[in-house]
A and B are shown apart, each in its own frame.
Chain A
Amino acid sequence: MSVTTEEVARIAALARLKVTQEELAAMVPELNGILAWVEQLGEVDVTGIAPMTAVIPNHLRLRADVVNADPLTGGGIRDAVLANAPAAEHGFFGVPKVIE
Chain B
Amino acid sequence: MTELTELTLAGIRDGVAAGTFSATEVAEAFNTAVADAQEALNAFIVTTPEAALEAAKKVDADRAAGRPLGKLAGVPIGMKDLFATKGVQTTAASHMLEGFIPPYESTVSQKLWDAGAGMLGKLNLDQFAMGSSNETSHFGNVISPWRRPGETTPLAPGGSSGGSSAAIAARLCPAATGTDTGGSIRQPAAFTGISGIKPTYGRCSRWGIVAFASSLDQAGPMARTVRDCAIMLEAMAGFDPKDATSLDLPVPAWEAGLNPDLRGKKVGIPREYRIEGLNAEVAKSWDDGIAWLKDAGAEIVEISLPHTKFALPTYYIIAPAEASSNLARYDGVRYGLRDLPEGANLQEMYAATRAAGFGGEVKRRILIGTYVLSAGFYDAYYTQAQKVRALIAQDFLKAFEEVDVILTPTAPSTPFALGEKRADPVEMYLNDVFSVPASLAGLPAMSVPAGLASDGLPLGLHLIGKPFDEAGVLNAGLAIEARAGFHASPAKWW
**Which A residues form the contact surface with B (CB < 8 A)?**
1, 3, 8, 11-19, 27, 30-31, 33-35, 37-44, 46, 49-56, 58, 60-61, 63, 70, 72-73, 77, 80-81, 83-87, 93, 95-98
Contact = CB atoms under 8 A, between A and B. Distances in A.
A40 B351 CA distance: 33
Nearest to B202: A56
A50 B351 contact: no
B370 A15 contact: yes
Interface in B358-389: 358, 363-364, 366-368, 370-371, 374, 377, 380-381, 383-389
Contacts of B21: none
B314 interface: yes
B354 interface: yes
A55 B440 contact: yes
A33 B101 contact: no
B349 A38 contact: no
Given A41-B385, A49-B391, A96-B346, A15 B366 contact: yes
Given A34-B368, A96-B346, A85 B242 contact: no
20 contacts: A11-B367, A11-B371, A15-B354, A17-B366, A19-B355, A30-B425, A31-B367, A31-B371, A33-B426, A40-B310, A44-B388, A46-B388, A49-B390, A51-B387, A56-B247, A58-B202, A61-B241, A86-B333, A98-B345, A98-B346
Contact of B344 (A16, A33, A55, A96): A96
B350 A55 contact: no
Nearest to B200: A56
Contacts of A81: 103, 334
B316 A38 contact: yes
A53 to B, nearest CB: 8
B313 interface: yes
B101 A83 contact: yes
A81 B333 CA distance: 12
Given A85-B334, A86-B337, A50 B345 contact: no
A16 B241 contact: no
A12 B367 contact: yes
Nearest to B386: A51
A12 B390 CA distance: 30
Interface residues of B, number: 73
B355 to A, nearest CB: 4
Contacts of B247: 56, 58
Contact of A42 (B336, B364, B384): B384
Interface of B: 100-101, 103-104, 200-202, 215-216, 241-242, 244-245, 247-248, 307, 309-310, 313-314, 316-317, 324, 328, 331-338, 340, 344-352, 354-355, 358, 363-364, 366-368, 370-371, 374, 377, 380-381, 383-391, 393, 424-426, 440-442, 467
Given A27-B367, A51-B387, A56-B442, A33 B355 contact: no
A60 B155 CA distance: 44
A34 B405 CA distance: 32
A1 B467 CA distance: 36
Contacts, number: 169
Nearest to B245: A58
Given A51-B383, A51-B386, A8 B333 contact: no
Contacts of B344: 96
Contact of B425 (A15, A33, A44): A33
Given A15-B370, A17-B354, A34-B426, A80 B393 contact: no
B370 A70 contact: no
A98 B215 CA distance: 35
B363 A37 contact: no
A34 B250 CA distance: 41
A20 to B, nearest CB: 9
B374 A84 contact: no
B367 A8 contact: yes
A35 to B, nearest CB: 8
A81 B336 CA distance: 12
A33 B367 contact: no
B426 A15 contact: no
A85 B201 contact: no
B345 A96 contact: yes
A50 B426 CA distance: 28
A16 B347 contact: yes
The 9 closest A-B pairs by CB, nearest first: A51-B386, A55-B442, A86-B338, A84-B335, A18-B351, A18-B355, A46-B387, A38-B313, A80-B103
Given A33-B424, A41-B384, A56-B200, A50 B354 contact: no
A1 B374 CA distance: 14
Contacts of A38: 313, 316-317, 381, 385
A85 B333 contact: yes
Contacts of B317: 38, 41
B101 A84 contact: yes
A37 B248 CA distance: 38
B152 to A, nearest CB: 31
Contacts of A97: 345
B248 to A, nearest CB: 8
Contacts of B337: 86
A26 to B, nearest CB: 9
A11 B370 contact: yes
A42 B344 CA distance: 43
A37 B390 CA distance: 20
Contacts of B347: 16
Contact of B352 (A14, A18, A72): A18
